[in-house]
Amino acid sequence: MIKRCFLTGEFVFYATSRAKRPHSFKRPQIKEVPKEFCPFCVENVHMTPGVLYATNDNKIRIVPNKYPFIDSDEKDFGIHDVLIDTDIHEEKMHNFSDEHMHRLMRVIQKRFSELEKTESIKYVQVFKNQGRDAGASQSHSHWQITALSVVPLKMEHLINVLRSYYYEHDRNCYLCNLEFGTRIVEENEHFISYLPADGKFAYGMDILPKRHIATIDDFTDNELLSFGIILRNSLKRLTTLLDGISYNVCLYSAPHSGDYKDFFHFYAQIIPRIGHMAGFEFSTGCYINSVLPEDGAKALREAKEDEPT
């Protein structure tokens, strides 16, 4: 079966004949960098180039990336932050408390808003690489926040698709109109976590605010709490199902540099890193997904029951 992802236009080949049972996706745990060599542990603060922000207990800190891919001195200006989201070397985000997730989301919102207002910044991307297969070079849990002087093609395309849908559907938002069927994983007062019907990644989840909100800037404090909890719970299910899995989390907010709020709907994407992008994906821009979204959602809903007590 072939589907076309509505938001990105990419083709997805659902290859269930290649489906593997979840346990065969399990990957070995990544060896931790020893604490004494970890630049993100508070006692090694001298290993990072300064501190941009820290909570008063140092549990959450933002530091400049030591190896930025964009330079704040360059003509093509950009900012590349690292947000260290815990002071405990081995702790992973799927085990954070409700309160800690709330604080973390407040810090992300605050920094996002500051960077957006920086002169010549057109777009801010917030993301997390967890595990080596997801591109993390440090095992200590962290996020990255990049502020760019350009709007990337992927975001430009997303804006165009959502804008077209809005005007072709009597000013209705595509994501407000979504139906989830049996693909819901978690739900709370303000958010829903589900597998998209045209999802590219096995067990990949999107998280959507129930209210039409274009950017994390506009989340209320209650929504920040709800978002933190549903993100943590969704990751908990994923890591229960696939022990040691690497994953990316990406947050998509409307760029402040345009008038997109009517049709752009914030969403977060969880990408489990099962297998690697290879020749087929790079050459065609198509994806192979060996787990149907309905089956993936069912496995994730049931995963919590397997949680060790």
Contact footprint for Zn ion (CB under 5 A): 38, 40-41, 89, 140, 173, 175-176, 212, 265
Sheet holding 247-252, edge to edge: 53-54, 61-64, 79-84, 142-148, 123-130, 247-252, 267-272, 205-209, 191-194, 184-187
Q: What is the DSSP string of 129-172?
A: EESGGGT-S-SS-EEEEEEESS--HHHHHHHHHHHHHHHHTTS-
Beta bridge partners of 249: 128, 270
- Total count of residues recorded for the chain: 309
With vertex at residue 269, the alpha carbon angle to CA 48 and CA 272, rounded to the nearest 5 degrees, is: 80
Yes or no: say if 214 and 266 are a contact pair by the CB < 8 Å rule: yes
Shortest separation between residue 165's beta carbon and Zn ion, angstroms? 10
Q: Which is nearer to Zn ion, 102 or 265 (CB)?
A: 265
Shortest separation between residue 218's beta carbon and Zn ion, angstroms? 12
Q: Which is nearer to Zn ion, 90 or 294 (CB)?
A: 90
Interatomic CA distance for residues 172 and 270, integer angstroms: 25
Interatomic CA distance for residues 98 and 192, integer angstroms: 17
Shortest separation between residue 5's beta carbon and Zn ion, angstroms? 18
Q: Which is nearer to Zn ion, 30 or 176 (CB)?
A: 176
CB count within 10 Å of CB 210 equals 14
Q: Which is nearer to Zn ion, 87 or 295 (CB)?
A: 87
Token pair 């330079």: residue:
71
Interatomic CA distance for residues 261 and 72, integer angstroms: 29
Beta bridge partners of 187: 192
Shortest separation between residue 86's beta carbon and Zn ion, angstroms? 9
Interatomic CA distance for residues 96 and 5, integer angstroms: 32
Q: Which is nearer to Zn ion, 76 or 90 (CB)?
A: 90
Shortest separation between residue 41's beta carbon and Zn ion, angstroms? 3
Sign of the C-alpha dihedral computed for residues 62, 65, 68 and 72 taken in this order:
positive
Q: Which is nearer to Zn ion, 140 or 237 (CB)?
A: 140
Q: Which is nearer to Zn ion, 212 or 298 (CB)?
A: 212
Q: Which is nearer to Zn ion, 14 or 263 (CB)?
A: 263
Shortest separation between residue 175's beta carbon and Zn ion, angstroms? 5
Shortest separation between residue 38's beta carbon and Zn ion, angstroms? 3
Shortest separation between residue 196's beta carbon and Zn ion, angstroms? 15
